[in-house]
């Protein structure tokens, strides 16, 4: 099947807000006297805010200590810090290699979408000033099930009017790679800490994004 669309994760693929998520969680964990490091943070990538909190509580064996209301407050506290950190996001924060790749994809008639699990996706895309280049943006507001569920990628394909088998998904998270595959799409992993289902093409950073390499790899797989 011909490739007609590229669907991008946001945090960690178009920009490094994954780092800001980490800093905001680390601060909350520190305040609560909980351990949380970068390795453990890998499990939070692509999963929702509340699921992220549950993972941190479970890591510290403190999952039974807080009521639902308290957990909602803790998640709000993390989000306030994250929102403070993303205020400084600017067009300079688009990761290297991303803009030329998006432009070349556009010039070749590719449809482009963003598939993010974040409720803050629009703010981040606004700061980066790149929303205009995408035909469609799916964020947490439009989705019920977060990655590894394929919903966000399938939602993008549907709105782009492209069959899933004609889409390529780009992700930095293991949960995201699983979501792309469950959607029936070719998966490009960028700087993924692979702990399960492997991407079809692995790149070590966005600097390695190259239109021909990606298309050739996807066509070879078919």
186, 200 Cβ separation under 8 angstroms: yes
Residue 49: name the closest of 32, 74, 29 by CA: 74
Select from 39-47, 126-134, 162-170, 204-212 the region that touches ligand B16 (CB under 6 A): 39-47
In the complex, the smallest distance separating the C-beta of residue 121 from ligand B16, rounded to whole angstroms, is 6
Residue 11 binds to ligand B16 (criterion: CB under 6 A): yes
Tell me which of 5, 6, 42, 45 binds ligand B16, using CB under 6 A. Answer: 45
Is the bond leading into 143 cis (omega within 30 degrees of zero)? no
Residue closer to ligand B16 by CB (options 123, 215) is 123
Residue closer to ligand B16 by CB (options 2, 80) is 80
Residue 214 structure tokens: 């990606």
Residue 172 binds to Mg ion (criterion: CB under 5 A): yes
Residue 49 binds to ligand B16 (criterion: CB under 6 A): yes
Catalytic residue numbers?
Answer: 9, 11
Select from 42-50, 66-74, 102-110, 178-186 the region that touches ligand B16 (CB under 6 A): 42-50
Select from 54-62, 93-101, 125-133, 173-181 the region that touches Mg ion (CB under 5 A): 173-181
Distances (CA, A) of 188 to 13, 73, 172, 208, 209: 10, 36, 9, 11, 10
Residue 15 binds to ligand B16 (criterion: CB under 6 A): no
Separation of alpha carbons 93 and 108, rounded Å = 25
Sheet holding 136-138, edge to edge: 136-138, 111-115, 5-8, 167-171, 186-190, 201-203
Determine the 3-state secondary structure of 213 from DSSP: helix
| Residue 198 burial (10 A CB sphere; 0-12, 13-18, 19+) | middle
Select from 95-103, 110-118, 162-170, 207-215 the region that touches ligand B16 (CB under 6 A): 110-118
Residue closer to ligand B16 by CB (options 101, 215) is 101
Q: What part of residues 150-179 is at the interface with ligand B16 (CB under 6 A)? A: 173
Residue 40: name the closest of 221, 193, 178 by CA: 193
Residue 42 binds to Mg ion (criterion: CB under 5 A): no
Burial 95-109 (b: 16+ CB within 10 A, else e): bebbbebbeebeeee
In the complex, the smallest distance separating the C-beta of residue 116 from Mg ion, rounded to whole angstroms, is 7
Residues forming contacts to ligand B16 in the complex (CB under 6 A) are: 9-12, 18, 21, 44-49, 52, 79, 116-120, 140, 173
């Amino acid at each position: 099947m011909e490739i007609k669309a590229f669907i991008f994760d946001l945090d960690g693929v178009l920009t490094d807000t994954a780092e800001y998520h980490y800093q905001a969680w680390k601060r909350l964990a520190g305040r609560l006297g909980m351990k949380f490091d970068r390795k453990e943070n890998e499990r939070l990538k692509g999963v929702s805010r509340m699921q992220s909190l549950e993972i941190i509580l479970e890591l510290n064996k403190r999952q039974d200590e807080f009521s639902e209301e308290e957990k909602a407050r803790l998640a709000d506290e993390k989000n306030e810090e994250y929102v403070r950190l993303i205020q400084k996001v600017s067009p300079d924060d688009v990761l290297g290699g991303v803009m030329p790749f998006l432009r070349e994809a556009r010039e070749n008639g590719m449809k482009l979408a963003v598939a993010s699990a974040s409720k803050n996706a629009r703010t981040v895309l606004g700061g980066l000033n790149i929303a205009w280049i995408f035909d469609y943006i799916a964020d947490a507001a439009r989705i019920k099930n977060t990655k590894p569920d394929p919903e966000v990628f399938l939602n993008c394909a549907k709105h782009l009017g492209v069959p899933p088998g004609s889409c390529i998904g780009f992700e930095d998270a293991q949960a995201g790679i699983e979501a792309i595959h469950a959607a029936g799409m070719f998966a490009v992993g960028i700087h993924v800490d692979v702990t399960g289902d492997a991407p079809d093409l692995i790149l070590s950073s966005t600097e390695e994004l190259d239109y021909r390499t990606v298309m050739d790899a996807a066509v070879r797989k078919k």
